[in-house]
Amino acid sequence: MQIHPTHLQIKKMETKMSLRVIKRRKFESVEETEGSTSEGTKERNLEASVEVDVCTHPGSFGHMCIRCGQKLDGDSGVTFGYIHKGLRLQDEEISRLRDTDMKNLLLRKKLNLVLDLDHTLLNSTHLVHLSSEELHLHTQTDSLGDVSKGSLFKLEHMHMMTKLRPFVRTFLKEANEMFEMYIYTMGDRPYALEMAKLLDPQGEYFNAKVISRDDGTQKHQKGLDVVLGQDSAVLILDDTEHAWMKHKDNLILMERYHFFASSCQQFGFNCKSLAELKSDEDETDGALSKILKVLKQVHCTFFDKLQDDLVVRDVRQVLSSLRSEVLNGCVIVFSRIFHGALPALRKMAEQMGATCLTELEPSVTHVVATDAGTEKSRWAVKENKFLVHPRWIEAANYFWQKQPEENFFLKKK
C-alpha cells in the first residue's frame, strides 16, 4: 500500500519524540546515580540537559509535544485529526511540511487534487427517502463483498443507498497518475470513510487523506488550511462554489449529479430523477469524463508548457488562463435576465474570455436571453446572431468548452 509522504513525516515525528523522551530519562537516571561526578562533568551534563530540553514545540498529540514530549497548555495551531487522532501542528511546522510535500510532488510530476463526494463523485440517499418509482433499486444493488465491480450499494447499517457516478473508477485511476488525491466532504467522518471504501476499496488513492466536516476549522466552510499542500499546487473539484470562499481560484466547479429523487428535491428541481427514469449519465461523455480532460490539460500546461521555474509555477494561474480561452472571441449582450442572476452570469462569461456589452452593436455575436420576444432578441434573429438561453454559458463553464449554440437556441413560445 502506498503511504502518503505526510504520513511518513508524522511517523518520524512520533519516533523523534520517543527518542527524545528516552534520552532525557536516561540522562536524569545517570545524574541521580552519579552523585560523585566531578564539577566539570556536572557542568557538561547540565549543558546537555539544556540542549535536550530546548524545543520550539512544532506540534502536539493531545497536549504532549511531538518533539520533546513536554506537556503543553493551550490550543494554538491547526488540528490534523484525519492524519492522526489528536495531532495538532503549529504554523511553522505546517509550512515546513508543505514545502517538503511540494518538492516531493514536483519530483514525481504530480499536483494535489481535493475531491468533494456528494453530487461530485457519487449521490446518496436515506432508504426511507426513496420514492415509489425508485423502490425497484432495492433489487438492483451490487455486492459489498467486491465493490470494485459495482456502482449501486445499499448500506443497511447506515440506512442509506449510494450510487457512484458513471466513469468514476476510470477517473480516479487516471487522475491518480497526475495527482495526490484527498477526499473533502461536508458529511461526517463515518460517512466519509464508508464512501472512501466504495471508491477506493484497495486503499490505492486516498489512504489517510479523507477530510470530513469534523476536521474543518470553519463551520459550513471548506479550506485548504487542513490540506498539507501548497495552495499554488492544489486543484479542487466540487459542486458547491460557496463552500470554498477563500479558494475560488483553485476550484473547478462540477455539474451536480442527481441520481435520486431526494437530491433533485434538495435543490428545488421539479423533475424525475435519473433513478425514476431508469437512466444515468453517459459513461464516456458525462461530467467526470469531460473534467478528466480538463485536469489532463492543466497538468500538461503546468509541467510541460510553462517556461519559469517549477517552484514558482501556480496552478491557479493555469486555471485562469485555460478558462479565459473557452469563450474567447464571443461578444455578448444580455436580455431579460433575472436581475439577481445577471452579475454572476456576466462574471462567468468574462472569466471565460467573453466580452459583455450593455448595448447592441455590429460586433455582438450572441444575445443571451430568457425571452425570445424582447427587442434585443428580435434584433439577434434579424441580424443572424446567436440567440441562446443562459444555460449556454453555464454549460460552457461546467465543461470548459464552448458548447454548440443549436443545443441552447431560444425559440418563441
In tens, the pLDDT along 16-42 reads 444 444 344 433 443 444 444 455 555
Mean pLDDT of the chain: 89
Q: Which three cell numbers stand for residue 149?
A: 465491480
CA dist 122 → 128, 164, 196, 263, 321 (Å) = 19, 4, 11, 11, 29
Sheet of 78-79, strand order = 64-65, 59-61, 87-89, 78-79
Measured between alpha carbons, how far is 64 from 59 in angstroms, rounded to an integer? 8
Name the band, by pLDDT with cuts 50, 70 and 90, for residue 411.
confident
The pLDDT score that the predictor gives to residue 25 is 40
Query: What residues contact 263, with CB distance under 8 A and at least 6 apart?
Result: 119, 123, 125, 256, 257, 273
CA dist 226 → 78, 94, 206, 213, 318 (Å) = 7, 9, 15, 11, 23
Measured between alpha carbons, how far is 189 from 310 in angstroms, rounded to an integer? 35
Name the band, by pLDDT with cuts 50, 70 and 90, for residue 404.
very high
For 294-311, the pLDDT digits (tens) are 999 999 999 999 988 998
* CA angle 114–117–121, rounded 5-degree value: 95
Nearest to 163 by CA among 240, 323, 56, 275: 275
* Residue 244 identity (one-letter amino acid): W
Q: Which three cell numbers stand for residue 311?
A: 517552484
* Burial (Cβ within 10 Å: 0-12, 13-18, ≥19) of residue 362: exposed
For 237-285, the pLDDT digits (tens) are 999 999 999 999 999 999 999 999 999 999 999 999 999 999 999 999 9
Measured between alpha carbons, how far is 42 from 46 in angstroms, rounded to an integer? 6
pLDDT at 228 over 60: yes
pLDDT at 13 over 90: no
What's this model's pTM, rounded to 2 decimal places? 0.86
Is the four-CA dihedral 191, 268, 251, 401 of positive or negative sign? Answer: positive
pLDDT at 184 over 90: yes
Q: Which three cell numbers stand for residue 378?
A: 428580435
Rounded percentage of the chain residues whose pLDDT exceeds 70: 87
Residue in the structure block whose three cell numbers are 514530549? 69
Q: Which three cell numbers stand for residue 136?
A: 425497484
By mean pLDDT, which of 135-144, 153-162, 334-343 is the weakest? 334-343
Measured between alpha carbons, how far is 390 from 368 in angstroms, rounded to an integer? 6
Residue in the structure block whose three cell numbers are 467573453? 354
Residue in the structure block whose three cell numbers are 470548459? 400
* CA angle 261–393–399, rounded 5-degree value: 70
Q: Are 216 and 244 in contact (CB under 8 A)?
A: no
Measured between alpha carbons, how far is 278 from 263 in angstroms, rounded to an integer? 15
Q: Average pLDDT of 164-183?
A: 98
Which residues in 332-358 are b (16+ Cβ under 10 Å) and which e?
Answer: bbbbbbeeeeeeebbebbeebbbbbee
